Copies of this chain bind each other. A is one copy, B any other.
Amino acid sequence: MPIDAPAAKRDATAGYGARVVLTDHGERAREEVAAAKAREIAETEGLALLHPFDDPEIVAGQAGAGLEALDQLAAKNASADLLFCSVGGGGLIGGVSLAFHYLSPATEIIGVEPEGFNGMGSSLAHGSIETMPIGPKSICDGLMSRRPGDAPFAAVKTAGVRGVTVDDSSVRRAMRIAFERMKLVLEPSGAASLAALLGGKVDVKDKTVLVVATGGNVSLADFMAHMNHA
Task: List the interface of chain A (C-beta within 8 A of B).
Answer: 8, 176, 179-180, 183-186, 216, 219-220, 223-224, 227
Contact = CB atoms under 8 A, between A and B. Distances in A.
A219 B183 contact: no
A220 B176 contact: yes
Contacts of A186: 183
Q: Which of A176, A220, A227 has the most CB of B within 10 A?
A: A220
A219 B106 CA distance: 38
A183 B180 contact: no
Nearest to A180: B220
A185 to B, nearest CB: 4
DSSP majority for the A interface?
A: helix
A216 B183 contact: yes
Nearest to A186: B183
Stoichiometry, as copies per complex, reads 2
A154 to B, nearest CB: 32
Contact of A184 (B183, B219, B220, B223): B183
A227 B216 contact: no
A207 to B, nearest CB: 23
Contacts of A179: 185, 220, 223
Contacts of A183: 184-186, 216
A227 B219 CA distance: 12
A223 B216 CA distance: 17
Contacts of A224: 224, 227
Nearest to A228: B224
A107 to B, nearest CB: 26
17 contacts: A8-B180, A176-B220, A179-B185, A179-B220, A179-B223, A180-B219, A180-B220, A183-B184, A183-B185, A183-B186, A183-B216, A184-B184, A184-B185, A185-B185, A220-B227, A224-B224, A224-B227
Contacts of A223: 179
Given A183-B216, A184-B184, 6 more contacts: A179-B220, A179-B223, A183-B184, A183-B186, A184-B185, A224-B224
A228 B76 CA distance: 40
A220 B180 CA distance: 7
Contacts of A220: 176, 179-180, 227
